[in-house]
């Protein structure tokens, strides 16, 4: 035993910024963690993945950071999923 108590039903606070600046999300490509406001969100629409600038589309979305290599890999990944709209930097 390490002396840490485990509380049933508790979750780690990985989804909150350590500095109290709001929620943190993970880039689907590099798996880096960034403040939610810094990431672009895409959600499944009728015609495939669609940009969700308002971050209000129902269902699960994916987040992509602004790193050029992540945007390029996401573009190629999303081609098979009928990406709709432009990927913004």
**3-state SS, one letter per residue, for the chain:** CCCCCCCCCCCCCCCECCCCCCEEEEECCCCCEEEHHHCEEEEEECCEEEECCCCCCCCCEEEECCCHHHHHHHHHHHHCCCCCCCCCC
Mean pLDDT per 10-residue run, the chain (89 residues)?
A: 47 48 94 96 84 91 95 86 58
Other beta carbons less than 10 A from residue 47's beta carbon = 11
What is the per-residue pLDDT for 14? 46
């Amino acid at each position: 035993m390490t002396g840490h108590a485990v509380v049933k039903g508790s979750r780690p606070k990985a989804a909150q910024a350590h500095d109290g600046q709001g929620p943190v999300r993970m880039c689907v490509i590099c798996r880096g963690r960034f403040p939610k406001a810094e990431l672009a969100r895409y959600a499944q629409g009728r015609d495939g993945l669609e940009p969700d600038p308002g971050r209000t589309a129902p269902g699960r979305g994916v987040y992509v950071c602004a790193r050029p290599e992540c945007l390029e890999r996401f573009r190629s990944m999303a081609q098979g999923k009928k990406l709709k709209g432009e990927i913004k930097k």
